[in-house]
Chain A
Amino acid sequence: MRPLQKLFVISLVLMLLNVTACGTVAGINQTGVVLALGVDPGPSGQLLWTFMFPNPTITPSSEASVKPSEEFYTLQSYASSLVQAAEKISMLTDRHVYLGDIQVVAVSSHIGSRELVHVIHLLINTGDFPPRAWLTIASPSGEAVLKVSPPEEVVPTVFLGSYFSCQICHAIQLETRVWQVWDDLLVPSHTAVIPLSTVKGNKVQVNGSIWLTPTHIVECGRKRTLYWAMAMGKYRAGTLAIDNNRVVAEGVRIASHRWILVSSRHMVSRWIITLHGHWQSVNTGFKETSYDNLAEKMVLRHVLEIYQLAVEQHVDPFGVLNQVVWTTSGKAIMPRAEVTVLCHIAATARTE
C-alpha cells in the first residue's frame, strides 16, 4: 500500500469512528422504558404527564415473586409538551427516558376537545413516540388509570395495552390507536371514537366511549357505545338478549355494510346490518322466526337511535361523510339513513 493510500484509509477509519451512533443512544443500563403515558390537565395551560416504567430489577426468574404494587413505578411532571416532560423526567432519574415502547396513552376525561386534539398532535409529532400506541380517555384521571394494575397482569404487560390488543376477548371492539384518532380528525368525518376507561375500586373498566371532533366532545355511556358498535359491525362473539332477557343468542357477530346511494333528487346512506349467531333454546315451542324478527327490530331501533343522536350532535362517528365526499360530488352533509337488519341467528346445534 502506498503512503497516500495508507493515510486515506487511516483518516477514513478515524472519520467513520467519529460518525458512530454512540453519541445519540444511551446504553441499555441507562435506559428507562416508558410503557404507558397518562395525560391530565395542569395549571396555566400546562399538562401533567405521568410516565409509567416497569421495575428494572425484574428478571424472568423473579417475576413471580414481585408484588403487583412493585411491578411498576410512575413519575410525573408538568410540561406543555411531551418532549419537555420527558426531559424533566430524565433529569429526575439517572436514565434516558425511552418513549418508543409506549403501549397505551390515557388522557384525562377532564380535558376539553381543543386541548385533546392538541395533545394528539403533540404525540404524533414527537419523534420517539410510537403512533401505534392505544389511546383511551381516562376517568377520573390518566394517572389514576395507570396506577391501577389488576392482579392478573404480570409485568411488563400493561393492563390496558393487553386489553386493547386482544381482539377476541371482548364483544365490543372499541380499541383505537393514536394515529387513527389523528387521521379521523383529518378526513371529512372529523370525528374520532375513543374508548373510555373508568377506575372502579381496584379495577379498570372499559365500557364507554367519547366522540371527539375538533370542536366538541360527545360522551357515550355503555348502551350508546354498544349501539354504535352494532351499527359499525364492531360487535363480535357477544350475546343478544330479547324478549325481556328471556331469550338469549350467543356468539352473536354483527356485520355492517354501508354505502351511499345517489339518485337524481337525493342522497341516502344505505346500511345493511347482518346478525349471525345461535339461539339458546330456552323453552318448548321455540319459534326461531319470531325471535329473529324481534332481534332485527331491536337492533334497527338502536342503530337508528344512535344515528339520530349523531345527526343532532353534528358528529359523524360512522364515517358517512367520508363516503359522501369520496364517492359522490355532493356536499358534506349527513344524508338520510336507510337501514336494513337481517337476522341469520340459527338454532343451537346441541339440543332441540
Chain B
Amino acid sequence: MPEIQKHEVVHHLRQATSQLLAELNAWDNTKPDTVTGDILEIQSYLKSQLLDSPDLITRVLVSGIGVQVLVAYIDGLVDTVMVDQDIIAPILKSQTLPEKWDTETLHTGQVTKETRWTKIWPKLLRGNTIICAQEQSAVWVVDTVKYMQRPVSRPETEAAIRGPQEAFNEIVLTQMNQIRRRLPDNRLTFQKVQLGTVDQHQVIVVALRGVVNPGLLETVMYRLHRIHMDAIPNATQVGSLIRDHPRSIFPTLRYTEHVDFVVWGLEQGKIAVLVDGDPFVIVLPATLWDFYQTPMDYNSPWYDASFVRFIRIAGFFVTLYFPSLYIVFTTTNQNLVPYQLLTTIIGSHIGLPFPPILEAILMIFVIEIIREAALRLPKALSTVLGTMGAIVVGTAIVKAGFVSSQIIVIMTVTALSFYSVPAYELVGSWRLVNFVLLASAQFWGLFGVLWVSLALVVELDSMVSFGVPYLSPWIPVNWRSLKDSVVRLPLGQWRQRLGSIRPPRMSWNRTSFSKIGHPRLRYHQNRQR
C-alpha cells in the first residue's frame, strides 16, 4: 500500500474512532469525570469531544519554570487580547508553581479551580479559558468571556413617549447590571437557576429582599427547580412551565423589556425572572390589570395616566363587545336599537348577500390577513400595505356589495381597540373570547352575550397568579391597591405599597407633608419669618 493511501486510511480511521468516541461519551454519563494530569491526553480529549471543531483553540506552552501547560479556549467567545496579555504572557514568564498561579501569575479578575469535566465544559463553551498544567489534577478556569451583544436600545414593543427609554438585551449579565444600576441596594438579590440539561440556560430570579413576600419567592424557586428538561430556549418557555393555569388562554405572567418597569415591579414586591438569551423579562405575579399598565403610566402626570387608563378600559369593552353587540342588534334584539338607526341599518342591508354574522367573520379575516401580512413585510412596505388595506379594501368591499358600511366602521374600531392593550400576550386571548361572544350573540342574542360574560368573570375570578387573585384589585376588592387602578393617584398620596402582592414591608412614603402640601417651601417660609 502506498504511503499516501496508508496515511489517508489512518486519518479516516482516526476520524471515525473519534466520532465513535464522542458519540459514546455523549451517550454514556458514567465515564470518569475527573481531570487527569496528562495535558496531551486532555488536548486530544477536548478535540475528540468537539470533533476537531475549528473554533476550539488549544496551545501547549512551557512556563518560566519549565512546566508544560495547555491553554484551551473557544475562538470568538473569548477576548483574545486578554488571553494573550493576561494569561499566556504571564505564564511564559512565571517562576511560580501552577498551584499558585491564581494569586501570583494570572492578571485576570475571576479565576476558579475546577476538577470535574461536567463543570469545566459549560464554562469553556461560554467563553472561559482553561489552563491545564502537566501533572496537575485540576484546571484553572479564567473568565475571558467576550459578550457579543447588541447595544442597549429603545424598547420596540412598549414604546414610551416620556421617561426612561432603556430596554434589556439578550445577555443576562447586562440585564442584571441594568437592574443593579437602578437599584443599588444590598437587599437586591439575584439567585441563579441552571435550566436545561443540554443548553444549560441561566435563569436568574431577581427580588428585593424585605419587600418581596418570602412565600412568593420560595414558590418561584420551587417551581423553577422542579423543571427537568433537555432544553428551554426562551423566557416564554420558562414562563409556561412556572405559571399558574398553564392551559388557560389568559396569561398569568407579564413579559417586558422595559428596565424601569421591572425595577418598579421589584420595588413593589414583585419578582423578575431573567432568562439568558431573551430580552423579555418575566415579571410576576401578573394579574389581568397588570397587562393594562404601561411604564409610561408612571412617567406622566397622574391625571393624564388615569385618563389614558380609562381609555384603555373603554378600548377593552369595545374590543370585546362591539362586534357581538352589532350582531345582537341586527339579528336577535332589534328592539334595543333606536328606530332611526334601525331604519338606516335595514336600508343599508338591502341587497347584501351575507347575514350580519358572516359579514363580521369576513371582515375579521380581512383584517387579520392585512395584519399578518403587514407583520411579515419590511417596515416601509407594511405601512403602505396597512393604509392600502384599510382604505382600498375597506371601501371596495362596501362598493362591491359584500358587506355593509356599518360593519366596516365596527370592525375597524374593534381592530384598533385590540391593540390598545399594552401587553401583546393578551391580544390573542381577547381575540378568542371575541369569537365566542360573536357565536353566542348569533345563537342566543343579548342573553348569550350576558351568559358568556358571566362565565368569563367566573372563570377569571377563579384564577390566580402566584397566589394573587387574577382580577385583583377589584375582585376581591383590595382597597389599598385601588390607588393604582383606573385612577392612578399622585405618588405623593401613596402611603403604602400595593397590597395585592402582600409585601411584608407595606410602608412606602413617609414624607411629612404640611397642610398646603409643599414641605420644603413651608420650611423655608418659616425660616424667613
Q: State the A residues within 8 Å of B (CB).
A: 16-17, 19-22, 25, 27-29, 31, 33, 35, 54, 56-60, 62, 98, 100-101, 103, 155-157
Contact = CB atoms under 8 A, between A and B. Distances in A.
A25 B443 contact: no
A149 to B, nearest CB: 15
Contact of B443 (A16, A58, A156): A16
B371 interface: no
29 contacts: A20-B443, A21-B332, A21-B443, A21-B444, A21-B447, A22-B332, A22-B442, A22-B443, A25-B332, A25-B334, A27-B355, A28-B330, A28-B334, A29-B352, A31-B334, A31-B346, A33-B342, A56-B346, A56-B347, A56-B350, A58-B343, A59-B344, A60-B344, A62-B347, A98-B334, A98-B335, A156-B339, A156-B340, A157-B340
A156 to B, nearest CB: 4
A57 B444 contact: no
A17 B444 CA distance: 9
A59 B445 contact: no
B345 interface: yes
B356 interface: yes
Contacts of A100: 334-335
A97 B345 CA distance: 16
A51 to B, nearest CB: 14
Contacts of A28: 330-331, 334, 345-346, 349, 356
Contacts of A62: 347
A98 B332 CA distance: 12
A56 B442 CA distance: 23
Given A56-B347, A58-B347, A103 B339 contact: yes
A21 B333 CA distance: 10
Contacts of B342: 33, 101
B331 A27 contact: yes
Nearest to B337: A101
A94 B355 CA distance: 17
Contacts of A25: 331-334, 445
Given A33-B342, A57-B350, A100-B335, 11 more contacts: A21-B332, A21-B445, A22-B442, A28-B334, A28-B345, A28-B356, A57-B347, A62-B347, A101-B339, A101-B342, A156-B339
B405 to A, nearest CB: 9
Interface string B415-450: 000000000000000000000000000111101100
A211 B448 CA distance: 46
Contacts of B344: 58-60, 156
A17 B355 CA distance: 18
Nearest to B344: A60
Contacts of A35: 339
A29 B349 contact: yes
A20 B343 contact: no
Nearest to A29: B349
Contact of B343 (A17, A19, A155): A155
A10 B344 CA distance: 40
Nearest to B342: A33
7 residue pairs, one from A and one from B, having the closest CB atoms? A101-B339, A156-B343, A100-B335, A20-B443, A59-B347, A21-B445, A28-B330
Interface residues of B, number: 26
B300 interface: no
Given A35-B339, A58-B344, A59-B347, A20 B355 contact: no
A35 B331 CA distance: 19
Contacts of A60: 344, 347
A280 to B, nearest CB: 39
A157 B344 CA distance: 12
A21 B450 CA distance: 14
A23 to B, nearest CB: 11
Contacts of B334: 25, 28, 31, 33, 98, 100
A177 to B, nearest CB: 16
B347 A17 contact: no
A98 B334 CA distance: 9
B348 interface: yes
Interface in B314-333: 330-333
Residue of B343, B355, B448 most packed against chain A (CB within 10 A):
B343
B87 to A, nearest CB: 61
A190 to B, nearest CB: 32
Contacts of B330: 28
A154 to B, nearest CB: 10
A189 to B, nearest CB: 32
B447 A29 contact: no
Contacts of A59: 344, 347-348
Contacts of A16: 443-444
A57 B348 CA distance: 8
B350 A17 contact: no
B342 to A, nearest CB: 6
Contacts of B445: 21, 25
Contacts of B447: 21
Nearest to B445: A21
A60 B442 CA distance: 26
Contacts of A58: 343-344, 347
A16 B455 CA distance: 15
B364 to A, nearest CB: 19
Interface string B1-15: 000000000000000
Contacts of A29: 346, 349-350, 352
A28 B343 CA distance: 10
A156 B337 CA distance: 13
Contacts of B332: 21-22, 25
Nearest to B336: A100
Interface string B435-470: 000000011110110000000000000000000000
